[in-house]
Structure 1
Amino acid sequence: MRRVLLLPGDGIGPEVVGAAREVLEAASSAFDLELAFEEGEIGAAAIRSSGEPLPEETARLARESDAVLLGAVGHPDFDGAEVRPEAGLLALRRELGVFANLRPVLALPSLLSSSPLKPELVEGVDLLIVRELTGGIYFGEKEEGTERASDLCLYSREEVERVARVAFEAARLRKGRVTSVDKANVLATSRMWRRVVAEVAKEYPDVELDNLLVDAAAMFLVREPSRFDVILTENMFGDILSDEAAVLPGSMGMLPSASLGEEGSPGLFEPVHGSAPDIAGIGRANPYATILSAAMMLRYSLGSPEAAGAIEGAVRSAMEEGVLTADLGGQATTQEAKEAVIRHLKQAVAR
């Protein structure tokens, strides 16, 4: 029995996690996976009930699980508050020791018209962003005041080496190319990053390495996105670039992610999108990114690549059928999208 902790979180989180759970239950039945689900609180929901964005009980459940599926955190009620919902997500990443965030970006033929870029630019895009997740400016020492503020950006050799290896290993299973993104012309941390990545690259003679400054990478993502295979970068740059890359498939509602730590530790899986409180509770949320995150969970943490592939195929089939939510230019509800995925999943397994 594999234990999965569900953290619905805030806004549309409960809706999309609920949809993903039903898809996982269908996959569990079809592939005899024996999944056991538990739920916990995080973010604004947790602050309201316990005063903490990551209660100790949630942290304990996460540590004891085989994988964690999260919806979204954040609510405007806490904008500017001393205790913020997003602190729960950062604390959870630290708690689980997940240091490598994998964000695949795939432009499906059925969505080419949804992208703001020309179809000929987006067609064939299939890239993976590997973002370092537990170091850098987000976790550095902070000083905050009315006249002066600072955020320390700090990286160690070990932190760069371990996330670089994740990127090179991933590239071996793809097209064999890694683009390391930094700001080495300005930042000392980036210059060390570039040196260490070059050293790791020597262990992977079958993988091609090139380096780009982050501003150039941002330009090429919208001007020539098909040039990329695996993008390796630090925490803040990865956060920004992956959100920019969300326009390629037409909506942030299509981007899943996996956050991985050392082998054997629970992985954290979540859609890239936010909590979207403006559409919460009305059935308009796009569940595809969360469902695809659940598929990544099956592949990376639960040892079920066949079930993962079946879910990914079912999502593609649902979209090719025209089951598109409002963010993709369609009118499908959250429930209709979920039901279409389950239907196509069952049909694929029955063949």
Structure 2
Amino acid sequence: MSKRTIVTMPGDGIGRVVLDETIRILNSAGFDAEYVEGDIGWEFWCKEGNPLPKRTIELLQKHKIGLFGAITSKPKDDAANELSPTLQNKGLVYSSPIVGLRQHFNLDICIRPCKTYKGNPLNFIRRGKGGVIEEPIVDVVIFRQNTEGLYGGVEWSNPDNTVYAALTSHPKFVKNFGTVPREDLSISTRIFTKSATTRILMAAFEYAKKNGYKSVTVCEKPNVIRETSGMMFKLAQEIQKKKFPEIELWNTNIDAQMMWLTKNPENYGVIVAGNMFGDIVSDGFAGLIGGLGFACSAQMSEDGIAVFEPTHGSAPKYAGYATSIVNPIAMVESACMMLDYLKEKEMSAKIRKAVAQVIQEEKVQTYDMMRMTGSADVLNQGAASTQQMADEIIGKLKTKYSNNPDYEYEKNS
């Protein structure tokens, strides 16, 4: 097999450092690849008026696989003010480049695993009967529809005559908003299509069957958002009945789910949701396994293009530190998802075992794992730097621990 080429897109803030350290880990694990860097992010918005240049799209189109760091996004007016003076007042409007990638390549399947590492001091605990402290094992995989819904970008402020006429054709709009001045209206749509909804549901059920999960939960709000959430659950019922009768189909409302996830998170397996609710519930479950420092994701298209990224932001307040303090594990886990996608499962399992050993030993911990407030001073208080955490993982890759079954990350690596 020829050497793979991976498009790296560091993006903004801490994106570069976590990506660079992850590539060191991949190299140490024996992953044979060439890396080409794609321009993306705030720098290119400010100086070119485009945070997602065409050249980066072409790179990803050519090489198919991307590792992405993090993105800075700011409100509309702030973004306009930070444009180069030569680009201001030309009608340029900032939009998230990662959303742009999703829509351009139809990266409609987003997978966000949230799985417990034994010994992680940030793991969720609860009080059981008799005051006993319990630490439930969380093993949840969220399937988020990635291109439609509230993030579809179909929005208006002060809608024009055509849009306003369409809105006033709905009796509830007339009743509730008919007397509101048009210039006071800002409108975002929530569009679901049957084809994309069917595809995310099928992906969730197929993953559950392949990996031994007993249930798929549709997490939406069909009792209120009847057309979109209702369509998703109805399609799920049809798919489950015809193709996956051995897998239980559960239905939860997003608000109730956010309450239940701290009561019985071990009961859930695969969860599927639309764009916004999938974003919310995945962050909720990520909080149970240590927070965004442990939250990874994959997004992929039907045409074989896939991008892997941590779900944390660019953390610009930490980006300027002389020595980086941030936790790279979310980026490392995202790279492991890439390895799984490329059928390098033995290599990904080896890296996960090395990470599991580092966490379980509790000798090297980043500031978040030590429950510190982030600052440059945490390194003087015993917290590991980003590089030190990567060094420790690399060290474990070179020892017997990476092949020790006692340090299995989880059953479904």
TM-score by length of 1: 0.92
The separation in 2 between residues aligned to 1:216 and 1:296, in whole angstroms, is: 29
Q: How does 1:1-351 map to 2 (within 5 A)?
A: 1-27=3-29, 29=30, 33-74=31-72, 80-82=78-80, 87-111=96-120, 113-115=121-123, 117-118=125-126, 120=133, 122-145=135-158, 147-172=184-209, 173-187=211-225, 188-202=227-241, 203-262=243-302, 265-282=304-321, 283-300=324-341, 302-322=342-362, 323-329=364-370, 331-348=383-400
CA separation of 1:350 and 1:235: change in aligned 2, threshold 3 A: closer
CA separation of 1:156 and 1:78: change in aligned 2, threshold 3 A: closer
CA separation of 1:281 and 1:181: change in aligned 2, threshold 3 A: same
C-alpha contact 1:107 1:122 (8 A) present in aligned 2: no
**C-alpha deviation, 1:94, in angstroms:** 1.5
The separation in 2 between residues aligned to 1:40 and 1:85, in whole angstroms, is: 19
C-alpha contact 1:10 1:75 (8 A) present in aligned 2: no
Percent sequence identity is 33
C-alpha contact 2:366 2:383 (8 A) present in aligned 1: yes
C-alpha contact 2:208 2:216 (8 A) present in aligned 1: yes
Letter in 1 for 2:99: L
CA separation of 1:281 and 1:121: change in aligned 2, threshold 3 A: farther
CA separation of 1:73 and 1:154: change in aligned 2, threshold 3 A: same
Offset from partner CA, 1:318-346 (integer Å, 9 cap, x none) = 11122211011171110010011111112
The runs of 5 or more residues in structure 1 that have no matched partner are none
Offset from partner CA, 1:178-202 (integer Å, 9 cap, x none) = 0111110111111111111111112
C-alpha contact 1:134 1:235 (8 A) present in aligned 2: yes
330-339 or 53-62: which moved more? 330-339
Letter in 2 for 1:45: E
**C-alpha deviation, 1:272, in angstroms:** 1.0
Instruction: Tell me which residue corresponds to 2:175.
Output: none
The runs of 5 or more residues in structure 2 that have no matched partner are 81-91, 128-132, 159-182, 371-381, 405-413
Offset from partner CA, 1:242-282 (integer Å, 9 cap, x none) = 112221012211111111221x5121100011111111132
Letter in 1 for 2:305: P
C-alpha contact 2:124 2:289 (8 A) present in aligned 1: no
Aligned to 2:200, what secondary structure does the other structure show? helix
The separation in 1 between residues aligned to 2:73 and 2:103, in whole angstroms, is: 22
The separation in 1 between residues aligned to 2:218 and 2:98, in whole angstroms, is: 26
C-alpha contact 2:124 2:136 (8 A) present in aligned 1: no
**C-alpha deviation, 1:100, in angstroms:** 1.2
**C-alpha deviation, 1:162, in angstroms:** 0.5
C-alpha contact 1:103 1:128 (8 A) present in aligned 2: yes
Q: How many residues align?
A: 344
Measured on the aligned residues, the alpha-carbon RMSD in Å equals: 2.0
TM-score by length of 2: 0.79
